[in-house]
């Protein structure tokens, strides 16, 4: 990417950003690799959904259908999509790359499923293992001002390394237990890395997006069980 930027005279306003022209070999290689990663993510989520349904069916001795365990919505975060947007009073085809954000199209948009045509695209905002999560809905304001995008989570307030240094495994588990949250974890270090203290206040982030009009609040969810790793 950096070689392609130098070759094609591309400059960014942040040294952490890198890009290439879409039709260049680097651009096409990137899109192909991204598509492979997205396919892996879709399959991975499908596998986890299947295994979760099987676990609930085994414990409750009922089928997933009887337990109403259907997928409400599935969407990829951190992905580039070819879309049409209004730019300078003209409809143009753009490659919209959402990093740290997710798509949030408004009601009646042709690219969202028929079940959500009247409400707008569902937006899944994951909180931490000790805080709430949200389901938001896309809006027309977001379509006009952010290319139909909104936040996709709270975002980290401190690095993984800093979380491991500052937090104690037993203290995080005790705090979750006090909140009535069960946890199963593959590695103790994951508990510190993903502790609620490692992230920003998801409610404040969601409120900001709601107040700005780029998405609107629909459902607030409270965690009761967490599986990590």
Q: What is the pLDDT of residue 192?
A: 82
Spatial separation of the C-alpha atoms in residues 220 and 112, rounded to whole Å: 22
Residue 114 sits at φ, ψ, to 5 deg, of -60, -30
Calculate the alpha carbon distances from 225 to 54, 63, 196 in Å: 16, 21, 14
Q: What is the pLDDT of residue 229?
A: 65
pLDDT at 46 over 70: yes
Q: What is the pLDDT of residue 61?
A: 95
pLDDT at 160 over 90: no
Average pLDDT over every residue of 129-146: 94
Residues carrying an active site annotation: 152
Contacts of 99 (CB under 8 A, 6+ apart): 78
Q: Which of 15-29, 92-106, 118-132, 175-189 has the lowest mean pLDDT?
A: 175-189
| Both tokens assigned to 143 | 């379509």
């Amino acid at each position: 990417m950096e070689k392609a930027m130098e070759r094609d005279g591309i400059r960014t306003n942040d040294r952490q950003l890198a890009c290439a022209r879409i039709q260049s070999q680097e651009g096409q290689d990137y899109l192909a690799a991204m598509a492979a990663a997205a396919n892996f993510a879709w399959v991975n989520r499908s596998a986890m959904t299947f295994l979760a349904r099987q676990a609930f069916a085994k414990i409750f001795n009922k089928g997933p259908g009887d337990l109403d365990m259907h997928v409400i919505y599935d969407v990829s975060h951190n992905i580039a999509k070819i879309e049409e947007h209004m730019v300078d009073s003209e409809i143009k085809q753009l490659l919209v790359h959402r990093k740290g954000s997710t798509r949030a199209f408004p009601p009646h948009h042709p690219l969202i499923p028929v079940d959500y045509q009247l409400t707008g695209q569902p937006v899944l905002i994951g909180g931490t293992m000790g805080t709430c999560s949200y389901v938001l809905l896309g809006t027309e304001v977001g379509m006009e001002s952010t290319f139909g995008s909104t936040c996709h989570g709270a975002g980290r307030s401190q690095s993984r390394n800093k979380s491991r240094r500052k937090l104690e495994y037993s203290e995080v588990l005790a705090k979750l237990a006090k909140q009535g949250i069960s946890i199963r974890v593959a590695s103790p270090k994951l508990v510190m890395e993903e502790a609620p203290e490692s992230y920003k206040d998801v409610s404040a982030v969601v409120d900001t997006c709601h107040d700005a009009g780029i998405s609107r609040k629909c459902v607030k969810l409270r965690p009761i069980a967490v599986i990590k790793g």
